[in-house]
Structure 1
Amino acid sequence: MKQVLEFLGAIAFLQGAVGLIHEFTDWDIGLIQRLDFLDGYEIYASIAQLVLSIALFAVAESLKSG
């Protein structure tokens, strides 16, 4: 379970970082920009994904490895 949470945290972190990069450089990358219902809220969604990734890493760290 710990490895699954770490994997999901890494994916959320990458998507959040890519979303912020997209907003500031206008590169056409990332998943958040392709979701129509987030139109106009991409920066907030990217920050929320970064916070989610930190929470997932914290939960994964709190689990026992064995």
Structure 2
Amino acid sequence: IFMGEKCPCVVYIPPGIFHGTKNIGNKISVVIGMPSLLYDPENVDERRVNPLDNDIIPYNWNCRME
């Protein structure tokens, strides 16, 4: 999904879906997360992986838009 100053948008990410953001512009980007439930450190309901070193997500974060 490409979004920006001239193309703002809202993205719904269902529970259990890995996701990340990458700024491909020259200006600072701002991403605002609005979870539907409060974070409960006693009952963590998320799974994190290293975005640069994993065998789950086949995405190269070092790729460049040219």
* TM-score normalised per structure 2: 0.21
Larger of the two Rg values belongs to structure = 2
Question: Which structure's residues are more often helix, by fraction?
Answer: 1
Higher normalized contact order (CA 8 Å, seq sep 6+, divided by chain length): 1
